[in-house]
Amino acid sequence: MSGPSLRKQDAHTSIHESALNEAKELRALLNKCLKEEQIEKALKVTEVTIEHWESRTLQHAESEEEGLYKEMAEEKPYLRQLITQLTRDHDLMRRIVEQMRNLLIQDEIDYRMISLLDSLIIVDSIHNEDEMNKLLTKNESYDKKVMEKGEDIA
Ligand SMILES: [Fe+2]
Ligand SMILES: [Fe+2]
C-alpha cells in the first residue's frame, strides 16, 4: 500500500496493528521454543520472524520513505524534522533486524533474539504512535498555528 492510502489514518493503523500483532505472536512462539529447548523449531521460527519483519514492517517503511514522507515534506515543510526522526526509527529497526540476521547466520539462537525482538516491538510501537499523532494528525487548526509560528512540532 502506498500513496494516498497511507494518508488514511484507519487504513494505515490497520497495517501497523496487523504486523505488530503477528510480530508479538512470533515472539511468544520463539520464547516458548527456547524455554522448551526445541532448538530446530526455534531456528525455523527465527527465520520466519526475520522474514516477517523484513517483508512487513521494513517494506512498509521503505514505501513510506519513497512516497508518503517525501510528499508530506513537500506539502508541510515544518514536518521535515519529524520526518527525519521517523526515518531514524526505520533505520534503528533495520539495524536490529540485521543483528538478528547475523545471529541466525552464526547459528546463535538464544535469548538475545528475544531481547532484539522486544526492542523492535517497543521502537515500532512508539514510531507508529508518532506517525498517527504527529505526522497524520487531522488537526488543521494546529497545522495552521504551527505554520504561522514557523515552529517544528517534532
Ligand atoms: Fe513508518
Ligand atoms: Fe506506517
Say if 126 falls within a structural domain: yes
Count of structural domains, the chain:
1
Which residue segment(s) compose the domain that 35 sits in?
9-139
pLDDT, tens digit (0-9, with 9 covering 90-100), for 100-128: 999 999 999 999 999 999 999 999 999 99
The model's pTM is 0.89
Say if 21 falls within a structural domain: yes
Say if 61 falls within a structural domain: yes
Distance between Cα 64 and ligand 2 center (Å): 7
Say if 148 falls within a structural domain: no
pLDDT, tens digit (0-9, with 9 covering 90-100), for 34-84: 999 999 999 999 999 999 999 999 999 999 999 999 999 999 999 999 999
Say if 144 falls within a structural domain: no
d(CA 16, CA 13): 5
Asked if residue 134 lies in contact with residue 154, where contact means CB atoms within 8 angstroms, the answer is yes
Q: Which long-range contacts (CB under 8 A, 24 or more apart) does 142-148 make?
A: 143/76, 146/78, 147/76, 147/78
Alpha helices for 36-79 (secondary structure H): 39-52, 59-63, 69-75
Q: Categorize the per-residue pLDDT at 150 as very low, low, confident or very high, splitting at 50, 70 and 90.
A: low
Say if 71 falls within a structural domain: yes
Say if 106 falls within a structural domain: yes
Say if 127 falls within a structural domain: yes
* CB under 5 Å of ion ligand 1: residues: 61, 64
